[in-house]
Amino acid sequence: MSTQPPPPILLLAGPTASGKSGLALGLAEAIGGEIVNADSMQVYADLRVLTARPSPQDEARAPHHLYGVADAAQAWSVGRWLAAAGKALGEIAARGRPAIVVGGTGLYFRALTRGLADIPAIPREIREQTLSAFAEQGEAAFRARLAKADPRAEARIAPGDRQRLTRAWEVYEVTGRALSDWHSGTAPTLAAGAWRGAVLAPPRAELYARIDTRLARMIGEGALGEVAAMIARDLDPHLPAMKALGVEALAAQLAGALSPEEALAQAQMETRRYAKRQMTWFNRQSPDWLRLEGTDDMGRLLRQLAP
């Protein structure tokens, strides 16, 4: 007696503004699939416009999961997303439907396909001590100390990312073992052969033009109001949602430190630089994934999902 193969899972990655959300939606409609968010900022409910979350109309066209599920006062980690994504993928498979995991957060895709270590819980007093040390020493000195304990973690953590810097030190402080070592040799959520990967990577000039146009449109669609509402809540500036692309520039505009034109230009530049880092990540981490330059190549994606 023959058995049905499991429903396909496609991992669709790419830089911001590449058009991957639209491509994922079209694919979901074509194959009756469900979409799972893999963007670390689109999990936050407060920033629909500024993070380019799918519109309510798009969400009504196919099931969407893990969009706008967290409050900006929360700090979602890779581990928390991985647990939520694993649960969503299990439920989608139980319904016998294909899944499309789409986003631009490389660490999320790496956790899915390579695993995330089961690190012991960090005591509150260690976390508080680490945050105090970061505040007292400053980022440069804190990084120098971390580099001696876990040089691989220090090298890959972006400037200004207090959350990941302190996390790496906490793990070393509690376990005596580098976070990078914990992450090596762990079992992935998705077994090899259970998924296919694709990267949407438009030509750089085209991508940068899309970024600039989209940010200008976001201003007219309410992005400034979203940032004003977050500022009014007096949230910790180190929270992940407060570091979303464009928040700093628009906050400076609201404070009178930048003109609207200057704020837009700064947000555009910041986003272009981030997109460049994303492209570098996927080129290094996912060299064997299918490469797409445009959003109109549905045929190649469908063939990628074929058994």
User: pLDDT tens-digit profile of 218-271?
Assistant: 999 999 999 999 999 999 988 999 999 999 999 999 999 999 999 999 999 999
pLDDT value, residue 1: 42
109 and 244 together in one domain: yes
Note the pLDDT tens digit of each residue in 197-226: 999 999 999 999 999 999 999 999 999 999
Q: Is the pLDDT of residue 5 over 80?
A: no
Position 1 in a domain:
no
The CATH number linked to 175 is 1.10.20.140
37 and 162 together in one domain: no
153 and 268 together in one domain: no
Three-state SS annotation for the chain = CCCCCCCCEEEEECCCCCCHHHHHHHHHHHHCCEEEECCCCCCEHHHCCCCCCCCHHHHCCCCEECCCCECCCCCCCHHHHHHHHHHHHHHHHHCCCCEEEEECCHHHHHHHHHCCCCCCCCCHHHHHHHHHHHHHHCHHHHHHHHHHHCHHHHHHCCCCCHHHHHHHHHHHHHHCCCHHHHHCCCCCCCCCCCCEEEEECCCHHHHHHHHHHHHHHHHHCCHHHHHHHHHHCCCCCCCHHHHCCCHHHHHHHHCCCCCHHHHHHHHHHHHHHHHHHHHHHHHHHCCCCEEECCCCCHHHHHHHHCC
Mean pLDDT of the chain: 90
Position 2 in a domain:
no
Note the pLDDT tens digit of each residue in 6-33: 899 999 999 999 999 999 999 999 999 9
pLDDT value, residue 295: 67
Q: Is the pLDDT of residue 65 over 80?
A: yes
Position 3 in a domain:
no
- Domain holding 167, by residue range, is 124-183
Query: Considering its fold, how many domains does the chain have in total?
Result: 2
- Of 133, 158, 183, at which residue does a domain stop? 183
